[in-house]
């Protein structure tokens, strides 16, 4: 079955989300920029006070859409936005490096990209000798829960052997991971940092849905890494994502099936199963093949 790919979004759950448009520092007051979100052509520019303004390109009145500046990005909503975006308190810690590592276009739905990000099983095969290595291929049992207050999906107690977990690595390590899905198209990873035993690096993927089966993925980092240049840190992250990209683009169907019988999960996919069920419970229909 080839699912139909919608040209515009009629999904109120997705329309009412904040979506990451682009890094704030890529917007200027001198030029009007153009981009696409959920099939809609948008225009954007900084106003004379340096605040971002975004409007539908087809709107002759250029009515400003709701915008928010958070975690280095301009977020925009095409519907009725929630008051605030999910919290990443580490962003404000003074010794953190907050880095936009790049935006990469991928021909896949946002939920497929999120689900791949949640998967530890592919590390040894796709990120060989960096995030994983044979024979350390087993995904040990981990816990999954939904936070009753925020309704975020969490995977906790994840442990994986990584030859080179970060730019700050000098040797292989058992990495502790926490995964958090606070938004249908955004995912955050908390991971052991080689530099501080009690703290974790924060690595997030914020997907901007261009179309139902096409995204631009913003890679956001909030790291404890005082020494490496941004160039080196970006290279590390882009290399990882560049390895994921062809895997993502060869997934079929490009939309994520939510019917539990559609694809056969294994034990290691526990968080993916929870994510799919969570999308179903939210009523998301854009970027997915809803359960019958």
Q: Which residues bind other proteins (CB under 8 A)?
A: 23, 26, 100, 102-105, 107, 216, 230-232, 234-235, 238-243, 245-246, 249
For 7, 188, 219, the CA distances from 184, given in Å and listed in that order, are 19, 12, 16
Q: Which is nearer to other proteins, 115 or 216 (CB)?
A: 216
In the complex, the smallest distance separating the C-beta of residue 231 from other proteins, rounded to whole angstroms, is 4
Q: Are 287 and 185 in contact (CB under 8 A)?
A: yes
In the complex, the smallest distance separating the C-beta of residue 22 from other proteins, rounded to whole angstroms, is 9
In the complex, the smallest distance separating the C-beta of residue 173 from other proteins, rounded to whole angstroms, is 22
Q: Which is nearer to other proteins, 247 or 282 (CB)?
A: 247
Q: Which is nearer to other proteins, 50 or 105 (CB)?
A: 105
In the complex, the smallest distance separating the C-beta of residue 244 from other proteins, rounded to whole angstroms, is 8
Q: Which is nearer to other proteins, 6 or 240 (CB)?
A: 240
Q: Which is nearer to other proteins, 50 or 125 (CB)?
A: 125
In the complex, the smallest distance separating the C-beta of residue 242 from other proteins, rounded to whole angstroms, is 3
CB atoms within 10 A of CB 137: 16
Q: Which of 184, 7, 36 is nearest to 105 (CA)?
A: 36
Q: Which is nearer to other proteins, 107 or 122 (CB)?
A: 107
In the complex, the smallest distance separating the C-beta of residue 51 from other proteins, rounded to whole angstroms, is 22
In the complex, the smallest distance separating the C-beta of residue 99 from other proteins, rounded to whole angstroms, is 10
Q: Which is nearer to other proteins, 143 or 249 (CB)?
A: 249
């Amino acid at each position: 079955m080839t699912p139909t790919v919608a040209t515009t979004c009629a999904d109120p759950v997705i329309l009412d989300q904040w979506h990451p448009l682009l890094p704030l520092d890529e917007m200027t007051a001198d030029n009007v920029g153009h981009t696409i979100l959920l099939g809609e052509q948008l225009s954007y520019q900084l106003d004379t006070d340096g605040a971002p303004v975004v409007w539908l390109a087809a709107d002759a009145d250029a009515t400003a859409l709701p915008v928010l500046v958070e975690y280095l990005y301009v977020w925009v909503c095409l519907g009725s936005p929630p008051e605030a975006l999910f919290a990443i308190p580490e962003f404000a810690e003074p010794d953190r490096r907050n880095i936009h590592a790049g935006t990469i276009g991928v021909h896949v739905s946002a939920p497929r990209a999120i689900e791949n990000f949640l998967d530890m099983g592919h590390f040894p095969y796709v990120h060989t000798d960096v995030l994983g290595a044979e024979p350390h291929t087993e995904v040990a049992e981990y816990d999954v829960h939904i936070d009753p207050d925020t309704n975020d999906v969490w995977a906790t107690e994840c442990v994986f052997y990584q030859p080179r977990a970060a730019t700050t690595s000098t040797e292989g390590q058992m990495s502790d991971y926490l995964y958090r899905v606070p938004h249908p198209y955004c995912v955050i990873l908390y991971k052991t940092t080689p530099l501080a035993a009690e703290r974790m690096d924060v690595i997030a993927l914020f997907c901007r849905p261009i179309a139902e089966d096409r995204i631009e993925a913003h890679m956001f980092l909030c790291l404890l890494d005082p020494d490496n240049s941004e160039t080196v840190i970006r290279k590390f992250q882009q290399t990882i994502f560049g390895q994921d990209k062809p895997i993502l683009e060869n997934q079929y169907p490009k939309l994520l099936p939510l019917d539990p019988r559609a694809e056969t999960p294994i034990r290691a996919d526990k968080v993916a199963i929870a994510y799919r069920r969570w999308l179903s419970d939210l009523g998301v229909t854009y970027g997915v093949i809803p359960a019958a």
